A and B are shown apart, each in its own frame.
Chain A
Amino acid sequence: MSDVLFRNVRLIGGGIDQHGDLLVKDGTIADFGASLGRPDGATIVEEDGAVLCPGLVDMRAALGEPGFEYRETIASAAEAAAAGGITTLACLPDTMPAIDDPSLVHMMRTKGEATGSLTILPYGAATKGCRGEELAEFGLLLEAGAIAFTDGAQAIGSSRLMRMALSYARGFGARIVQHPEDPSLAAGGAATEGEWATRLGLPGIPAAAEAILVARDIRLAQLTGGAVHFAHISTAEALGLIAQAKDAGLHVTCDTAPPYFDLNETAIGEFRTYQKLSPPLRKDEDRRAVVAGLADGTIDAIASDHRPRDTDDTRLPYAVCPPSGVGLATLLGVTLAQVHNGALTLAQAIDLLTLRPARLLGAVGGTLAKGAPADLCLFHPDRIWRVESGKLPGKAQNTPFDGRPIEGRVLGTWKAGKRVFAA
């Protein structure tokens, strides 16, 4: 593998923000600084105005494999991830079969390695089959390489079961990741309850369904001393509760996903099923609160919340269409909109996509440091492109951002020093 020298780029990540060069040798970051000269035999990468940051660490993505290969394979997801600058991805266990057995954890890790471009970190199922009945084998799953436990798109609804999960996981130092939505309030719902759902005649889910489960689980985290992580937080009320819990020193963290700070419920328009997400898109007050939560640090990470569907899966009447939304290729670009509008600094945005999720997952990477694996993303923050369903990298095309112009484009992605994407 030849050495790579990035020349005269803006280096951002892990507390670094400087102009200069970065040298990759033998798959790791060998050196960086103001100017590294011109080492023999190194491939030179030079791009005016470009930013070099650690490869993105996506802490929440549902993959089509195993079980739904017609929607997406790991190979096609890896292609989309590389185009989005993502080099590490945590995949959800609610597949077919569910990742509730050590051999399946091992398989997902191995399949990730086989792509050559993407490290896959599997979540283990919190309950067997993600059925919400009995706890999965946390200890054995951790030994096999699971990073935390969750039932994916299903909330752990039973208070008793959630208590057991938090309590038992604590013994292993593991975290429970919750889909924070009270299942009985959410049952049958298709949109956030309120004027918009009422106009469209869609069954509603009250926004409070999120805060209700968050409040309960914070209380259970306190009771058990366990660590809970709330996925795709989307409401002001839940963020308020999480901020309080953090102040109280509880082991509570959360992430959100680009739709929740970039879109509001009006994006549903005339029953557009690509905008049917779980949790559903919210009112604009909630969207603005999510932006504020990113800026003030209440939100720990931005994840793609990628969930692929086949076209036929989404050509259904809105209420019966399953929620979904791909997000790998648009993760960085949509996040950068919050930098361009002044809500976040570039360094804040990069940390939310790299270092902070890496720390939550206990993963290597997410930082620019000598000796770290050369998982890198080179992007131009001002270059324009347009999201077009049908033309996205990878197989699944169900993007909630269809038609959206994006300012900020990934130019190249490197995995352990090897270039795996070139724009």
Chain B
Amino acid sequence: MFYRQKHLLAIEGLTPPEIGHLLELADSYVLLNRSGKTQRDLLRGRTLINLFFEDSTRTRTSFELAGKRLGADVINMSVSTSSVNKGETLLDTAATLNAMQCDLLVVRHDQSGAPNLLARKVDASVINAGDGTHEHPTQALLDALTIKRRKGRIEGLTVAICGDVLHSRVARSNIHLLTTLGNRVRVVGPPTLLPAGIADLGVSVFHDMKSGLEGADIVMMLRLQKERMTRGLVPSAREYFRFWGLDAAKLAYANDDALIMHPGPMNRGVEIDSAVADHPTRSLIKEQVEMGVAVRMAVLDTLSRGDGRNDV
């Protein structure tokens, strides 16, 4: 076994062999899924709880499907974070889940580090399904698998991550994964949406799409949430689209065979134009969703084996 952790809380800190192992296993699950076969005995008798403190249809469904295809008993729990004391809910819920003998705990939370806090309190393997603006490791893995299958490799590529990097856990996980495997990563966006010290994570920083996309093999767009406009980080959606929204004209700055990605859900006409998002050959957006299930099966499979574990 190459994967030596009990949990999957972050991409940062994983080694290239650990990432490589998860991607290879995920690749084999793509074939299995396409053949229509299942492996319902692998996680038989294991309990997977999807604990979502933040709304997410896509990620939750993807984990649910992955768990069911491997034969796990899957339970979905949605907990409203609007209740008075988020932290109390979090740890009380952890105690409850522990008493239920849950094996795999998938957590989404609007606070950075919430899965780390839970991981210290439960016996289950914790999988971070997105925490605040920290990390979204399975998204980065599925993005890597998508790229690898289309480009034939996941090293030596130039990847431009564009838009609201400041609030993006997807961007952070992708930066860690792509730089760990030896790709050149750029971030492109207005200075108000790029976090301080981002260059120290090993990326090049660009503020305009022309120079940022030049020579890029992959253009990864990020979602811009509407409330960023009201908080004064960007004056308006139309100005944002004019300068940082991906349309055919801006895509032309990238390599001719550059591929388009987006973690979804998209704000069409804000960060991405429909003609580009739905491009028949260059958009990977639908493929990303398919890879999501395979990657999550690989993660559940790996963590449930738990051998070679270097648990502290």
Whether B179 sits at the interface, judged by CB under 8 Å, is: no
On whether A199 and B172 interact (CB within 8 A), knowing A270-B116, A315-B117, A317-B86, the answer reads yes
- Cβ 8 A contact of B86, one of A199, A204, A316, A318: A316
Stretch binding the partner chain, chosen from B17-25, B87-95, B219-227 = B87-95
Q: How many A-B Cβ pairs are below 8 Å?
A: 80
Interface contact A198-B196, CB-CB below 8 Å: yes
Interface contact A317-B109, CB-CB below 8 Å: yes
When chains A and B are docked, how far (Å) is the Cα of A315 from the Cα of B112?
A: 14
Stretch binding the partner chain, chosen from B63-71, B132-140, B147-155 = B132-140
The closest CB in chain A to the CB of B200 belongs to A195
Minimal beta-carbon separation of B98 from chain A (angstroms): 15
On whether A315 and B91 interact (CB within 8 A), knowing A270-B113, A320-B111, the answer reads yes
Chain B residues, CB < 8 A from A200: 112-113, 134
When chains A and B are docked, how far (Å) is the Cα of A378 from the Cα of B195?
A: 49
Interface contact B87-A315, CB-CB below 8 Å: yes
Please encode chain B, from 107 to 138, with 1 for each CB lying within 8 Å of some chain A CB and 0 for all others: 00101111011000000000000011111000
Chain A residues, CB < 8 A from B113: 200-202, 270-271, 317-319
- Cβ 8 A contact of B132, one of A196, A206, A315, A319: A319
When chains A and B are docked, how far (Å) is the Cα of A120 from the Cα of B87?
A: 34
Interface contact B112-A198, CB-CB below 8 Å: no
Interface contact B112-A318, CB-CB below 8 Å: yes
The closest CB in chain A to the CB of B172 belongs to A201
When chains A and B are docked, how far (Å) is the Cα of A319 from the Cα of B113?
A: 9
Chain B residues, CB < 8 A from A102: none
When chains A and B are docked, how far (Å) is the Cα of A191 from the Cα of B288?
A: 34
- Cβ 8 A contact of B201, one of A199, A203, A206, A270: A199
The closest CB in chain A to the CB of B12 belongs to A199
Whether B6 sits at the interface, judged by CB under 8 Å, is: no
Interface contact A196-B197, CB-CB below 8 Å: yes
On whether A206 and B196 interact (CB within 8 A), knowing A201-B134, A271-B112, A317-B109, the answer reads yes
- Cβ 8 A contact of A317, one of B90, B197, B200, B201: B90
The closest CB in chain B to the CB of A196 belongs to B197
The closest CB in chain A to the CB of B91 belongs to A315
When chains A and B are docked, how far (Å) is the Cα of A319 from the Cα of B133?
A: 11
When chains A and B are docked, how far (Å) is the Cα of A106 from the Cα of B302?
A: 64
The closest CB in chain B to the CB of A194 belongs to B197
Minimal beta-carbon separation of A279 from chain B (angstroms): 16
When chains A and B are docked, how far (Å) is the Cα of A199 from the Cα of B112?
A: 10
Chain A residues, CB < 8 A from B135: 201
Give residues 177-224 of A contacting B (CB, 8 Å): 193-204, 206
When chains A and B are docked, how far (Å) is the Cα of A271 from the Cα of B112?
A: 8
When chains A and B are docked, how far (Å) is the Cα of A119 from the Cα of B284?
A: 70
Minimal beta-carbon separation of B197 from chain A (angstroms): 3
Whether B169 sits at the interface, judged by CB under 8 Å, is: yes
Chain B residues, CB < 8 A from A198: 172, 195-198, 200-201
Minimal beta-carbon separation of B80 from chain A (angstroms): 15
On whether A317 and B133 interact (CB within 8 A), knowing A195-B197, A271-B112, the answer reads no
Binding site for B on A (CB under 8 A): 193-204, 206, 270-271, 312, 315-321
30 A-B residue pairs with CB within 8 Å: A193-B196, A194-B196, A197-B196, A197-B197, A198-B172, A198-B196, A198-B197, A198-B200, A198-B201, A199-B12, A199-B172, A201-B112, A201-B133, A201-B172, A202-B113, A203-B133, A204-B196, A270-B113, A270-B116, A271-B112, A271-B113, A315-B91, A315-B117, A316-B87, A317-B114, A319-B111, A319-B112, A319-B113, A320-B86, A321-B87
Beyond the given A195-B196, A200-B113, A318-B112, could you list 17 further A-B residue pairs with CB under 8 A, ordered by the A residue number? A195-B201, A197-B195, A199-B201, A201-B112, A201-B131, A201-B132, A202-B133, A202-B134, A270-B116, A271-B112, A312-B88, A315-B87, A316-B90, A317-B109, A317-B111, A318-B113, A320-B111
Interchain residue pairs A-B with the least CB separation, the first 3? A201-B134, A317-B111, A316-B87
